[in-house]
Amino acid sequence: MPTNKHASFRYRVLDQCFGERGRRKWSLQELVSEVSRYLQEEFGAENAVSLRTIQGDISVMRSHPPRGYSAPIVCSNGRYYYADPEYRISNIPFRKEELEILRASMGLIRQIPGISHLPIIDVVQQRFEYEQDDEHKRKELIQLEVIHRVKGTEWIPLIYQSMIQKVVLQIVYQPFSDDEMSFYLHPYLLKEWRNRWYVFGREGREKNEKTSGNTARQWLIERMGFIPRSDHIWNVPLDRIISIHNCPDIPFLENDLFDPDTWFDEIAGVTKPENTAPIQIEMEADTIAYYYIESKPFHASQSLLFRDEEKAVFSLKLIPNYEIITDILAYGKYVRVRSPESFKKMLSDITS
C-alpha cells in the first residue's frame, strides 16, 4: 500500500468523496478543489494538488494491492464515483503477511512496561486477529531488554491517556532527599532512557504555593532537584512520582516549547542544559574499550578519527550533560578525553 504521508491523506479524502452519502458524483476539478482544501487545513496553506495528481491518485486507488486498493472507481460523463456504494478503503481486510507484521509489532510493544496495560493495545490486537489462527501456539521470537519491575511504569497508561486527551496532571512527587510536594504539569512526551521513564511537559503552579514569581519557581525547582530552565520545560522521572490526578478543569496548554522529534538530537540521555551550544569532544580509547565504543556509540555524532594497534580516537559533537559524563567515566582509565579543556574540567570536578 502507498506510504507517502500526503498521498495516503489524499486517498482518504478521495475515498470520503466517492463514498459520500447522497451518491454525489464528482468532476476532476471538484476533486482537485476538495482535496486541496483538506490538505491546506491539515498541512498548511502552501499545500495544493494539480489535476494530474488527482488523476494519478485515482489510478493508484484502482490498482490492485500492494500498490493500491482495487477501488471500484468508475467515470461516467466525466463524473467519478464508487460503483459499489458500500466500498471504503478502510474496510479492506489485512493480508496474512501484513497480519504477521502487526502481530510481531504488537508483541514488541507488549514487552514495554506500562504500555502493555493500555486498553487500546487489546482493542488493536482483537481488531486484526483472524479466527483460524491459534495464538497460544505462537512463540516469542524477539525479546527486548526490559526490567518489568521498574518503579514508576505503572503511571505510563494514565500519562499516555492524558496526553491524548489533553488533560493537565496534578503530580505528587518525592525528591530523593526532601519531603513530597505537589505541582501541575501539562504533559507532552513520555521518554525512556535505560529502563527509566520520564515525562516531559510544561510546568504548572504548585498546589500549595504561597509565594509568587520567580522566587517561588526557583525554590520549587531546587527542592525537586531539577535543572532550572527559563522555558518552563520540566523533565519528571516517573520513579519518584507518588500519585497522579487528572485536572480536567484546568485549561490545557498546547506544546509550543519544543519539538520531540529533534529535542534530543544534540544530547545523550534526557537532560538538556539551557543556553548551551554543542561542543566538539575528542577522546582516546585503549583497544580494550574501542570495540565496545565502536559497536555502541555514545551519540549519533560519534565518528572515528584515528586507530592503530594500541588506541583509537573518537569525535563527538553534543551538548555536555550528566549522562555523557557518566557514560565516559564508566570506562575508567581505558578512555581519556583529549579536548576541549572545559569538558576535561567537568570530568575532573565530578571525580575529585
Q: What is the CATH number of the domain that holds 293?
A: 3.30.70.100
Main-chain phi, psi angles of 200, to 5 degrees: -100, 135
Q: Is it the case that residue 61 has pLDDT exceeding 50? A: yes
- Domain identity same for 292 and 342: yes
Q: What mean pLDDT comes out for the span 313-322? A: 95
Question: Which residues are registered as beta bridge partners of 235?
Answer: 200
| C-alpha closest to that of 175 among 209, 218, 225, 242 | 225
Burial of 12 (0-12, 13-18, 19+ CB in 10 A): middle
Band (172; pLDDT cuts 50, 70, 90): very high
More confident residue, 108 or 86: 86
How does DSSP assign 267-300, residue by residue? -SSS---TT---EEEEEEEEHHHHHHHHHS-SST
**Residue 147 lies inside a defined structural domain of this protein:** no
Q: 267 lies in a domain? A: no
Which ranges of 118-276 does DSSP label H, i.e. alpha helix? 119-127, 156-165, 213-224
- Asked if 28 and 87 sit in the same domain, the reply is yes
Kindly state whether residue 21 falls inside one of the protein's structural domains: yes
H helix runs in the chain, sequence order: 5-18, 28-43, 51-62, 96-110, 119-127, 156-165, 213-224, 287-295, 322-329, 341-351
191, burial (CB in 10 Å: exposed 0-12, middle 13-18, buried 19+): middle
Residue 252 belongs to some domain of the structure: no
Q: Is the distance from CB of 70 to CB of 64 less than 8 angstroms? A: yes
Query: Do 39 and 86 fall within a single domain?
Result: yes
Q: What is the pLDDT of residue 117?
A: 58
Please report whether residue 254 resides in a domain. no
Residues listed for the chain: 352
Total domain count for the chain?
Answer: 4
Domain membership of residue 264 (yes or no) is no
Quick check: 181 pLDDT over 50? yes
Backbone phi, psi, residue 109, to 5°: -65, -40
247, 266, 296: which is the final residue of a domain? 247
Residue 100 falls inside a structural domain: yes
Domain span including residue 34: 5-91
Amino acid 211: pLDDT: 43
The CATH number linked to 87 is: 1.10.10
Write down the pLDDT at residue 130.
Answer: 45
Q: In this predicted model, what pLDDT tens digit does every residue of 27-52 receive, in sequence order?
A: 999 999 999 988 888 777 667 789 99
Task: Specify the range with the lowest mean pLDDT, choosing from 18-27, 134-143, 262-271.
Answer: 134-143
Q: What percent of the chain has pLDDT over 90?
A: 46
Distance CA 318, CA 324 (A): 9
pLDDT digits (tens, 9 = 90+) for 273-289: 888 899 999 999 998 89
Q: Tell me the backbone φ, ψ of residue 65, rounded to 5 degrees.
A: -60, 150
Share of the chain above pLDDT 70, in %: 74
Residue 129 resides in a domain: yes
Q: Which residue has the higher pLDDT, 58 or 23?
A: 58
DSSP letter at 256?
Answer: -
